[in-house]
Amino acid sequence: MLRRPVLLPAVCTAAALLASSTALASSHREAPFITGMPKVDGTDFYMFNSYESGRDGYVTLIANYLPLQDAYGGPNYFSLDDDAIYEIHIDNDGNAMEDITFQFQFNTERKNATVNVGGTDVPVPLINIGAITANDTSAQNVLESYTVKMITGDRRTGNVQNITHAGSGDDTFAKPVDNIGTKSINDYATYADSFIYDVTLPDCPMPGKVFVGQRQEGFVVNLGEVFDLVALDPLGARDSRNNILDDKNVTSLALEVPADCLTGDNTVVGGWTTASVRQASVINPAPQGSSTTASTDAKGPAVKGGAYTQVSRLGSPLVNEVVIGLPDKDRFNASEPKDDGQFATYVTNPSLPALVNVLFSVPAPETPRNDLVTVFLTGVPGVTQLPTVTPSEMLRLNTGIPATAAGAQVDLGVAGGDFAGFPNGRRPVDDVVDIALTAAEGFLCGADVNGADPGGEIGNCGTQDSQVNGGAIVNDGALPDPAAYLTTFPYLNTPLPGADNVAAAP
């Protein structure tokens, strides 16, 4: 059998094409149960070596939640859930269990601002009653804050320590209000920047950064046509369609951490994000009597209790949305990477290539797809594989591979020769849809993965030992625009305003 060797000094070009097997989009409304809980619906997870100037040696982690936000979605906009916990997990030894967890928990204060109407103070229906700046929240009717805990070991029984403001030691951080509009917040970019905090990380000699707030949706996909029976021109021009998400916002939980404070015995880490809610919820009737006398401490119509139960999970982009079959979607969201053997059939025998073959007569690679198992479940030997190999779905990053400067990044990641891109981690500009489609359609078949496949077993697709479909770039027609992203932390762009008119002063 003639093997096609694919060797890289730092990253395996072909084998690094797919960390999510057949992912097609970011994880929006991906499972039946989570559609009813948008506040804890994880949409994207990014993990990459920071490329902001002067931030060498840092890793940026971004977990996005609450999908498909229309900027004008008032009067409540898009607060997160005070009764949930949002977590980013890091595995640095390969047992598919968290070694480090960053846990975010939120608190919402409702000031119940009033206006005087005919001698009576009446609560207003808006979250602000005047202009807002970072230094003046007096007109802000709803304020969000959060804490971040760093847990080493098991997420529920490990050692818990607070992440604090560098210098002051305070452990509470303010979250900016969503981008209501230009009359409420004149210069949102400057306003939001004031909520980027330098932080002290437990047992870490260097400070990190944290930011939580609304951002412009960074994921690029021709989403509607993908789900309309893959109504694409899969071998057409990469810029032939529109990005259907370019008018949406999302809420980001972003951390920048020194790489040395994440890694174990080598430079590779695996990461994923989860959200968990309390097991029980009891309807809490509204207080009787006038609303003007209602308790300012009321948090909503339910009281929640019991142990935390995981309801959302995301590592590589959109595994659950288009890889995991419908009967198992809720189970995947509730599962942990260490138990991913139960979902292996979706990788070894993926349904997407078969569907594409039916719709477009594009030949599907033979199964089992050992090529996808290597990059998707085990990592590439010597590149993104952790010291212990436990087949599991997570995003893997080699922190020892230098970041590519923003102006030189290639949106096809490793497939385009940019070895610091997806699926060696994931950056905002990486076109994970095109990369994943290309790999799913057989780009990796027959590859001698980083010279680690002398027996011809890692990179094969059934009995096939060469690329299927000639190694063509299969795509959805929606192309990322590098100008749509920041080149500094938190990297995702300023969110779109709910109103962009600048009203004249009264």
pLDDT digits (tens, 9 = 90+) for 47-68: 999 999 999 999 999 999 999 9
Burial degree of 292 (CB within 10 A; 0-12, 13-18, 19+): exposed
Tell me how far CA of residue 102 lies from CA of 94, 202, 209, 302, 335, in angstroms: 18, 11, 13, 27, 18
pLDDT digits (tens, 9 = 90+) for 8-18: 333 333 333 33
Confidence (pLDDT) at 52: 98
Cα separation of 115 and 113, whole Å? 7
pLDDT digits (tens, 9 = 90+) for 16-31: 333 333 333 345 554 4
Collect all residues with Cβ–Cβ distance below 8 Å to 425 and sequence separation of at least 6: 46, 47, 48, 49, 395, 396, 397, 398
Confidence (pLDDT) at 211: 98
pLDDT digits (tens, 9 = 90+) for 382-403: 778 898 999 999 999 999 999 9
Cα separation of 24 and 223, whole Å? 8
pLDDT digits (tens, 9 = 90+) for 442-469: 877 876 655 655 555 567 888 887 778 7
Confidence (pLDDT) at 316: 84
Q: What is the pLDDT of the chain when averaged over all its residues?
A: 85
Three-state secondary-structure class, residue 342: helix
Residue 74 DSSP class: T
Cα separation of 379 and 373, whole Å? 8
Q: Provide the β-strand partners of residue 49.
A: 59
Inform me whether the pLDDT recorded for 427 exceeds 90: yes
Cα separation of 7 and 11, whole Å? 8
Q: Omega before 423 cis (within 30°)?
A: yes
pTM of the predicted model over 0.75: yes
Inform me whether the pLDDT recorded for 255 exceeds 90: yes
Query: Among candidates 297, 287, 301, which has minimal Cα distance to 112?
Result: 297
Number of residues assigned to the chain: 506
Inform me whether the pLDDT recorded for 415 exceeds 90: no
For the ranges 164-173, 231-240, 494-503, the one whose mean pLDDT is highest: 164-173
Rounded mean pLDDT, 222-236: 77
Three-state secondary-structure class, residue 225: helix
| pLDDT classification of 117: cutoffs 50, 70, 90 | very high
Neighbours of 179 (CB within 10 A): 27
Tokens found for residue 83: 């009764």
pLDDT digits (tens, 9 = 90+) for 192-207: 999 999 999 999 999 9
Tell me how far CA of residue 310 lies from CA of 20, 41, 46, 333, in angstroms: 21, 11, 20, 7
| pLDDT classification of 503: cutoffs 50, 70, 90 | low
Confidence (pLDDT) at 12: 35
> Domain extents for the chain?
4-484
Which one has a higher pLDDT value, 253 or 432?
253
Three-state secondary-structure class, residue 77: coil
Confidence (pLDDT) at 15: 32
Cα separation of 189 and 232, whole Å? 36
Confidence (pLDDT) at 283: 75
Inform me whether the pLDDT recorded for 357 exceeds 50: yes
Three-state secondary-structure class, residue 70: strand
For the ranges 207-211, 284-288, 437-441, 464-468, the one whose mean pLDDT is highest: 207-211
Tokens found for residue 185: 């917040």
